Amino acid sequence: MSKKRISVIGLGYIGLPTATVLASRQIQVIGVDVNEKAVDTINQGRIHIVEPDLDMLVHAAVSQGFLKATTTPEPADAFLIAVPTPFKEGKKPDLSYIEAAAKSIAPVLKKGDLVILESTSPVGATEQLARWLADVRQDLTFPQDVGEHSDIRVAHCPERVLPGHVLRELVENDRIVGGMTHRCSEAARELYETFVRGDCIVTDVRTAELCKLTENSFRDVNIAFANELSVISDRLKINVWELIRLANRHPRVNILQPGPGVGGHCIAVDPWFIVDSVPADANLIRTAREVNDRKPKHVLAKLTASANRFKEPVIAMFGLSFKANIDDLRESPALDIVQEAVEQKMGKILVVEPNISKLPTSLSGKTELVTADVALESADIIVLLVDHKQFLTVDLDRLQERVVIDTRGIWSKPRGNRAIGRA
């Protein structure tokens, strides 16, 4: 693979790290993205997203000439597609980004090329990708038509990394490789083995697609149990963090930690792909999604009750991203809660989010981005929505005279006799 030229389509939270890791193996990598600003930033050796250590690797890869970004696909030997797969109205999968990627690379395909879909996708999406490619390039053969003897090889290999640890997990984690034929699978496995130290396990394409959805649905179901416990504990005036700590002392119990909901482009979205495929049978998966989708409303109800105790409350919201120590706001329950509090005019809203430099458009001019010190000094109500590392060191004494709604438990877990009471 050292002489291959690889193109990565989509330079976001997965595509850019993947392109950079490949380039660090001294492989020529062409990154493609429709965002001209992102392309320009990368070509300057800088990054447009937050991910630990990525900036150094991108700078090195660009400086050494192994990575360049462009808005227009160029010929390559392998194409990795890492574009978003959101859902549209009715929780239906939106494959428009995959379709656009397919149509953009189709003109530069040549016999012997490999196309891999990394985007988390509903079952059947990779086969649909191959059909889109075949529609444009009728001069080439594809696996759905001639099987093992196709000109173009097509496979699915879903990413399975944790934001904040992407560079390490891209290399260390096992990968599930599902080709449309055995030859497709082997070609994809060979590519990933150039940088993956974990096992590259071959299966069929549909199993690979469902595997990623299953992983995220498993986590969603277990988070839903924790979130439902937190609602029950609130009703019964029990500290859920203490409850879970005690229950987890059982040797076969491992309850996760509750939060304000579930966000991100994976866990909050992927289970709906299974529900959409088999709506009559995905009952537990659907219910878990509904439990987690309702959790922000429970937080807002607590905030409303607290705000009503003040004439003109100042409310500080700690965290906007969907998880700790990243800048990703996609499907963020924290962002939804802040937006709803602003819309309901609950009071003066302050936002503390150390991983962004400006508020998203939906909040611009409606609230204020401030430091933790400013928020702690002026707020009547403090809502902890994301457990960023900067919030772990907050002096609990500064919270004593405030109403505190701690949805992550970092200020509410018992610390001797210094636990902060919950609203």
DSSP annotation of 279 reads T
Q: Which residues are registered as beta bridge partners of 204?
A: 179
Confidence of residue 238 (pLDDT cuts 50, 70, 90): very high
Tokens 């009703």 correspond to 235
297 part of the active site: no
Residue-level pLDDT at 414: 55
- 37-40 long-range Cβ contacts below 8 angstroms, 24+ apart: 38/11, 38/69, 39/11, 39/69, 39/70, 39/71, 40/69
Check whether 2 has a pLDDT greater than 50: no
Given 266, 302, 311, 389, the catalytic residue: 266
Cβ pair 157, 116 in contact under 8 A? yes
Residue closest to 392 by CA, chosen among 411, 378, 372:
411
pLDDT digits (tens, 9 = 90+) for 255-289: 999 999 998 878 999 999 999 999 999 999 999 99
Q: Which residue in 261, 256, 322, 260 sits closest to 290, CA to CA?
A: 261
Cβ(390)–Cβ(414) under 8 Å? no
Both structure tokens of 136: 């444009």
DSSP letters for 117-176? E-S---TTHHHHHHHHHHHH-TTS--HHHHGGG-SSEEEE------TTSHHHHHHHS-EE
Catalytic residue among 157, 184, 212, 295: 212
**416 falls in which pLDDT band (50, 70, 90)?**
very low
Average pLDDT over residues 226-252: 97
Looking at the DSSP assignment, which residues form a beta bridge with residue 383?
Answer: 317, 405
Sketch out the chain's domains with CATH numbers: 5-198 (3.40.50.720), 214-406 (3.40.50.720)
Tell me the whole-structure pTM to 2 decimals.
Answer: 0.89
Residue 200 among the catalytic residues:
no
- CA 293 – CA 99 distance, rounded (Å): 29
- The angle that helices 283-307 and 333-343 make with each other, rounded to 10 degrees, is 40
Distance separating alpha carbons of residues 269 and 93, to the nearest angstrom: 9
> Is a pLDDT exceeding 80 seen at residue 219?
yes
**CA-CA distances (angstroms) from residue 68 to 42, 193, 322?**
7, 22, 30
Q: Are strands 87-88 and 28-32 parallel, antiparallel or unpaired?
A: unpaired
Alpha carbons 186 and 188: distance in angstroms, whole number: 5
Amino acid at 414: P
What is the SS3 assignment for 266?
coil
Residue 419's pLDDT is 46
Each residue's pLDDT tens digit, 339-381: 999 999 999 999 999 999 999 999 999 999 999 999 999 999 9
Reported as a single tens digit per residue, the pLDDT across 83-108 is 999 988 999 999 999 999 999 999 99
Q: Give CA torsion, residues 160, 39, 68, 142, to 10 deg.
A: 60
Residue 47 DSSP one-character state: -
Please give the average per-residue pLDDT across 30-38, as a whole number.
97
Pairing of strands 67-70, 87-88: unpaired
Backbone angles phi, psi at 368, to 5 degrees: -135, 135
- Tokens coding 208: 């690979």
pLDDT tens for each residue of 185-200: 999 999 999 999 999 9
Please report the DSSP string for 233-252 in residue order. Answer: HHHTT--HHHHHHHHTTSTT
